[in-house]
Amino acid sequence: MNKTYLENLIKKSNYAHLPMNINPNDEAGNRWKNKKVFDKICLYHSNSLDNVILNGQAKIELSDEYTYENEMSLKFTADTKVENVSPRPFPTIKISLNKLNLNAYNRITLNVYPKATGHVNFYFHFVFGNKGEEVVHAPSLNPNEWNMVTFEVDKIKRDEVETFTIQPFLMGCPPEGLPELEVYVSDIFAEKVEADDDLTWELNNRIAYCHSGYYVEYEKTAIVSNMTEKEFKVFDEQGSLVLTKEVKVEKSNLGTYLILDFTEIKKEGLYKIVIGNLSTKLFEISNNPLDSSIWKSMNFLRMLRCGEDVPSVHSHCHLNCKTVDSKGRTVPNFGGWHDAGDLSQFEICTAEMAEAIAELAFKYENTNIDLYNRLKEEAKVGLIWLLRTRFGNGERALAVSYSVWRDNVLAPDNESIKVSKAENGPFENLLSASALAVGTRLFEDEPIFSDWCKRAAVEDYKFGVKGYEEGIYTLRWGPNIDSQVAGIAMKTAVELYLLTNDNKYLDDVEKYGKVVLSCQEQDTPKWDIPMKGFFYEDPKHSKILTYEHRGHEQNPIHGLARAYEVLPNHKEAKNWKKGLELYAEYALDSLNYTKPYNLLPAHVYPLDKINIERFTVPSYWGSKEQALIDLKEQAKHGIKLNEDVYLRIFPVAIQRRGYHATLLSKTKAVSLIGRVLNKKELLQVAYDQLAWILGKNPFSSSTMYGEGHNYHPLYVAFSPQLVGALPVGFKTYGHLDVPYWPTVNNAVFKEIWGHTTGKYLWILADM
């Protein structure tokens, strides 16, 4: 990114305190809206109520008050004040299509005008497809203007479409808003367009490259496929030719690709690649090419804050929301960050995010004081929430549900805010202790706050290890995972030893280090394609350590890495180092199956060691036994390592598909080893994963909203689109082990998620 542009962006946003804006031409939504339409058919004329059925609390009629290329609009009116209604209500408008065959069309388009006062965003569900095969599209809708709603349905069964359904979700009324919502709907069309190439490893008329840029001292490559060109060119910002070079042909497990290697360019500046009739946008080569993404991440987190005024998003919110402990005591749980697209908040995410931001702040203390101060400020938001929401006895706010916007003045009978129950979670307490220990160091210039962090860290660590030893666990996440919990216990013990010089923590480092290493596969399995270095859940190796959605694969490595870094002369140090080296070997070996993207595969899946209890199985889907059968079938679409053992590039999952967090948690493990063992090869691998997220993928789509190009609109629900937001991530289709990034917008894969941003920033702390 142009340095002057970034500086202006930072200053105009008051150092990421005011909303940042985007260039509309860089968003994929702009490209979709301007696609050529080859044919279309009208599914509904907005001048009639024939074949329109309303269910739910709303009023429906025809109106000429707001119209779009027609004399009339379909209008419905609803009340958004739903504080005591659970779950969130939504009226349903069904338009009968009488089993219409729409195979000739692959896109749905309509225009919607939500009229409201004091609201910044709405999201509706638009449901289309054969009965039982429908897709749900949930875009952001700006109030008081016409919104073009368009989504492609190329892979949806649509030869007998019975209805098109519109469901406006009623998301509460913020204090600054009025409750009445009026919605105007135009004609609805099925269209034929050239559909996006959304399920693929190949690059058809696209260049995969890191849109944000490349580090001077790292490898620099871009990728194309299905081309016959023999050379490529690199130009600088002024249009001067900098490099002409032959392409490299690489055949891999994923296909045949042309590699455009321009590693020899060391001069800082802006460049673009040209090959045949394709060219990239300008990208940066510098010693800090991802600083733009960090500033935008700070913008995202500022906009995601709870309990305070957020410009253009919401006023002070959820001030009366509380968490209740087992004794009936309450703590206010506003603050921190709204976790995702549903205003929830989870201690696990908050703790990891706060620690990640704090760790990254240290890296800029002597090089960029503005960014250092901004990171430090945002880290404190998470740390304060951890301190405010603990009861001092091991119980704390773990899963906070806000669900809707609420008034801050509540009637006596309003029970809707008393739904968050405190629990004593060992993993959660240890995560808090770790984050607060790091915060103690970061805020040494604020002695009172630093001491508060330290005291709470010592207490939370005690609660965490005691709970782990006693077998306590939370209702939401189930029995403790030994490699995960022992890993964070080991890591936190190191942090507390640094703060207190108390040798009792050294005993715990050794004890939990042995648990972590006992969970690792250190012997070479007798497989056709042997791999080792990965982790099981437990020392008995009865269940493999896998994640479907959140990711914490860094935990066992974090414990080993931090111990080896701080205690290199400890008697167990050689064993810790061996564990790190084995995991590095596993990571590097697995890259053989994802060239040239060099994507870290998800997990090794021995079919008899998949723990179904770690997967979300919705009640409507089927039994856990049926789900396990499906998960095993998904695993079999990966790389066969042995009879009944497979390596998947993407995790297996039933409902929670979207895999940036699982990828980034593994990346954090790799970046830690690279930093602690000074292995540049591993830091290169870590960078490659960030590049994947920022555009070096088969869709040439940066997935950080507002960073790079061709980024998709995301599922935000309660806010406008937020610059710097990262989604849950690329998902898969059916059983295929192939990335899938459709134009449809919905939870969870396109849902904004602070957890993902935290992992992203945590990796940069090692770079």
Q: What is the mean pLDDT of residues 464-479?
A: 93
State whether residue 127 is helix, strand or coil: strand
The confidence score (pLDDT) of residue 44 equals 96
| C-beta of residue 698 within 8 angstroms of C-beta of residue 208 | yes
Q: Quick one: pLDDT band at residue 481, thresholds 50, 70, 90?
A: very high
Spatial separation of the C-alpha atoms in residues 299 and 374, rounded to whole Å: 10
Number of H helices, E strands in the chain: 15, 30
pLDDT tops 80 at residue 436: yes
Q: What is the mean pLDDT of residues 70-77?
A: 93
Q: Quick one: pLDDT band at residue 405, thresholds 50, 70, 90?
A: confident
State whether residue 144 is helix, strand or coil: coil
Q: What is the mean pLDDT of residues 279-305?
A: 96
Q: Quick one: pLDDT band at residue 416, thresholds 50, 70, 90?
A: low
The confidence score (pLDDT) of residue 501 equals 96
The predicted-structure confidence for 205-244, as pLDDT tens digits, reads as follows 999 999 999 999 999 999 999 999 999 999 999 999 999 9
pLDDT tops 70 at residue 345: yes
The confidence score (pLDDT) of residue 371 equals 97
Q: What is the mean pLDDT of residues 585-594?
A: 97
The confidence score (pLDDT) of residue 734 equals 94
Can you give the pTM of this predicted structure? 0.96
pLDDT tops 70 at residue 411: yes
Q: What is the mean pLDDT of residues 517-546?
A: 97
Instruction: Give the alpha-carbon dihedral of 56, 743, 630, 620, to 10 degrees.
Output: 0
Q: Quick one: pLDDT band at residue 588, thresholds 50, 70, 90?
A: very high
Spell out the domains of the chain, with CATH numbers in brackets: 3-23+199-286 (2.60.40.10), 36-192 (2.60.120.430)
Spatial separation of the C-alpha atoms in residues 374 and 376, rounded to whole Å: 5
pLDDT tops 90 at residue 591: yes
pLDDT tops 70 at residue 1: no
Most confident of 73-87, 315-329, 670-684: 670-684
The confidence score (pLDDT) of residue 404 equals 80
Backbone dihedral angles phi then psi of residue 565, each to the nearest 5 degrees: -65, -40
- Percentage with pLDDT > 70 across the chain: 99
Q: CA dist 716 to 242, 342, 755, Å?
A: 41, 8, 14
- Percentage with pLDDT > 90 across the chain: 87
Backbone dihedral angles phi then psi of residue 245, each to the nearest 5 degrees: -150, 150
Q: What is the mean pLDDT of residues 694-723?
A: 96
The residue type of 91 is P
Closest by CA to 460, choosing from 498, 490, 499, 434, is: 434
The predicted-structure confidence for 357-377, as pLDDT tens digits, reads as follows 999 999 999 999 999 999 999
The residue type of 650 is F
Tokens 């490595």, located at residue: 557
Radius of gyration of the chain (CA): 26
- Encode burial over 32-71: b for 16+ CB neighbours within 10 A, e otherwise: beebeeeeeeebbebeeeeebeeeeebebeeeeebbbeee
Cα angle 732, 633, 519 (rounded to 5 degrees) comes to 90
Backbone dihedral angles phi then psi of residue 155, each to the nearest 5 degrees: -100, 10
Q: How far is CA 591 from the centre of its chain?
A: 22
pLDDT tops 70 at residue 418: no
State whether residue 206 is helix, strand or coil: coil
pLDDT tops 90 at residue 741: yes
Q: Quick one: pLDDT band at residue 323, thresholds 50, 70, 90?
A: very high
| C-beta of residue 651 within 8 angstroms of C-beta of residue 631 | no
The predicted-structure confidence for 652-703, as pLDDT tens digits, reads as follows 999 889 999 999 999 999 999 999 999 999 999 999 999 999 999 999 999 9
The predicted-structure confidence for 92-135, as pLDDT tens digits, reads as follows 999 999 999 999 999 999 999 999 999 999 989 999 999 999 99
